[in-house]
Amino acid sequence: MCFSETQGPCFVASWRRWVIIFFVLWEIRIRPQRQLAARSPHISLNCPRSFQPDFIRLTEVFMKCILSYCLFCLLFPSVVFAQTVVSMRIDGAINPVVADFIHDGIEKAKKENAECLVIHLNTPGGLLKSTRIIVSDILESPVPVIVYVSPAGAQSGSAGVFITLAAHIAAMTPGTNIGAAHPVSLQAPMDSIMSGKVTNDAAAFIRSIAEKRNRNIEWAENAVRKSFSYSETEALEEPRRWKNG
């Protein structure tokens, strides 16, 4: 488990290019004046603005706009560049340590006013109690949370299904799978009554998540009750089939 941050430039790649444009425009402004002065010796380079050609006045206005923009970029660089993206990686079972780690990641993203939090997820499953804590944190997060099942060969199994569905945006890299969320006991085997209770509770839990995120409820419930599992392509197509069916 680890944190990382990235910052990307917005539509302006670098303010330095505007500085270059400024000097180019400066040369464009000076040269017409020199040529005009050479052709008409009685006209001074420092003549009143009313006597300057329209081209020179227009270039001067545009050049001042570029200069103002360059000054703005130098004084307020945080405005020029895009917001921070906080990235974290989960590779292993879901447990209280992972729950605390994700909670801290959300708090970090909120504190830094990040654009979003990206969780790279690879898990076979884990504890239902820890999963509930994580899901609650994600659903209540003021910062958009993206769960990305990766790298190729990774899975979002069992508890991972709940976490993936709870995200604002869920994505999977090619060669990954999701599903098989039927609850199992890590200790003594459950009798039929207890197994039914736990399954019904987990099914209701995943239905509430799917409804909250406007995702296919029947698809989500089948992952719990019938242990359905899907590749990244099937996970994209199956919910549409259930809706159309």
- Does residue 128 sit in the same domain as residue 216? yes
- Does residue 113 sit in the same domain as residue 170? yes
Give me the half-sphere count of Cα atoms (radius 13 Å) on the Cβ side of residue 149. Answer: 31
Tell me: the pLDDT tens digits for 152-188?
999 999 999 999 999 999 999 999 999 999 998 777 6
Say how far apart CA 222 and CA 207 lie, in whole Å: 10
Residue 195 belongs to what domain range?
Answer: 83-244
DSSP string, 54-87: HHHHHHHHHHHHHHHHHHHHHH-HHHHBPPPEEE
Q: How many domains does the chain have?
A: 2
For 84, 210, 212, the CA distances from 224, given in Å and listed in that order, are 36, 12, 17
**Which of 37, 62, 79 marks a domain boundary?**
79
In a domain, 3, yes or no: no
Active-site residue flag, 158: yes
The pair of structure tokens assigned to 186 is 């890590």
pLDDT band at 13 (very low <50, low <70, confident <90, very high): very low
- Does residue 198 sit in the same domain as residue 88? yes
Tell me: the pLDDT tens digits for 29-78?
555 555 555 555 554 445 454 445 555 555 566 566 666 666 666 666 55
pLDDT of residue 10: 42
In a domain, 236, yes or no: yes
Which of 197, 212, 226, 243 is labelled catalytic?
197
Which of 87, 150, 158, 229 is labelled catalytic?
158
- Does residue 66 sit in the same domain as residue 169? no
Average pLDDT, the chain: 80
Task: Rank 7-11, 14-18, 209-213 by mean pLDDT and report only the highest.
Answer: 209-213
Tell me: the pLDDT tens digits for 81-112?
556 899 999 999 999 999 999 999 999 999 99
**Which of 30, 64, 79 marks a domain boundary?**
79
